[in-house]
Amino acid sequence: MPTGHFRRTRGRSPRVLKAAPQAVPRQYFGTDGVRGVVGEDLTADLVERLGRAATLWSGRGRIFVGRDTRASGVELEQALARGIASAGGNAVVAGILPTPAVALLTLDLGCVITASHNPPEYNGVKFFDRDGQKLTDEQEEEIEALLDQPGSGGGEIDEVGVATDSYLEHVLERFGSDLSGLHIGVDCANGAYSDLAPKAFEQLGAKVETIGNEPDGNNINVDCGATDLRALQALVKRERLDLGVAFDGDGDRMLAVDANGDVVDGDQIVAVLALHLRAPSVVVTPMTNLGFHELMAQHGIESHVTDEVGDRYVLETIRATGGRLGGEQSGHIIYLDGHVTGDGLVAALLLCRALEGRTLAEAAALMPRLPQVKENVRVRTKSLPQSILDEVSRQNEELAGHGRVLVRPSGTEPVVRVLAEAHDESEAANLCASIAGLVRRELG
């Protein structure tokens, strides 16, 4: 699928997606870099080859390298640096850094060793070009084609220790506001924001209660962070906080919890920001709640819907449409005024600024939400057969715009994701169960 494909909506609900498009076939790269279980799908040898191939592809320049807090990160960081040096490049190794910091600080190329929201046994490699943008499918294919090329040697490995300070200074200066009087819970997912995020809120005057800030290499994203909000919900209610924010392990996702302990998802966060920033347009994905589009239409904000799910496609479409704001229900929030990619800490700071004296519950309540029911079905193969595509199409034709069914293979895990949306929760649940059952029978 060529990048930059999207649908535009204004004053109406987006047209129903009949089936998620199939991704461009690549052997190693998925929807968000190379990712897998360490020692099985992802080895030090593969990471070293990726470092060498990416260096050859980029012209043997300076490559900025960061990682999250996974125990495997140190070995894989060393392997990547060896690969870079073996191809004549200069590896500038910064240690633990959030993914958006690597994007901001990238040199001729940027690379982060992370598996983002995945469990600790996973790890991965993401690349950014010299402008801080994720590589396109075609660019990743070009790197894959160089995986078996020998290196010329002659490169260097340097370590730097001031990257976190540079990143934090930029974020606070550009996106910070006076947070005095705000009592906030911060869940760092035992990941890359464990030291940075609490410090940021405290420097802006907030009173901070922090959890998920004791990484040991094996607890990243475990029972905490944006993938499991229960600990943050309990903290917010127990301490009677104004709100809570949670990041994922590498810091490119953020979700929130209001004072009642209710989850505020990425759709609602993007909606709050779009109204606050008076954005003329916004980019979202097929997963976005239909209630979001109703709210945007009421305010004359143009909605662009990507064909594929993933923050990379949101970012590409923002740039293609000349916009600044977009995001995903899962918590990837992208604002390009003073940044180059999605950033969980920036999203949290912008959300706090956008409250303007309201509670988070009051701000989020402006967006109506149609009931959605989701299920991740573990499968042997992620290629959707025609029988599933036909049934999804039939169900969507019957719903006639009053709901929808979406089926898509995950780009990072061996699962197929099923989403059903309807005006009635029981109808959505029945739709989801029916399609999930079909996927299980055909692919499980």
**Residues marked as catalytic:** 116
Q: Are 304 and 281 in contact (CB under 8 A)?
A: yes
For residue 39, what are the contacts with CB-CB under 8 A and spacing of at least 6? none
Number of CB atoms found within 10 A of residue 12's CB: 11
- φ, ψ of residue 135 in degrees (nearest 5): -70, 150
Q: Are 28 and 46 in contact (CB under 8 A)?
A: yes
Q: C-alpha angle 255/275/185, rounded to 5°?
A: 30
Instruction: Write out the two tokens for 316.
Output: 């590409």
Burial (CB count <10 Å: 0-12, 13-18, 19+), residue 18: middle
Put residue 357 in one of left, alpha, beta given phi > 0 → left and psi -120 to 50 → alpha: left
Instruction: Write out the two tokens for 259.
Output: 């004072």
Q: Are 253 and 196 in contact (CB under 8 A)?
A: no
H or E element that contains 256: strand 254-258
Distance of CA 196 to the CA centre of its chain: 18
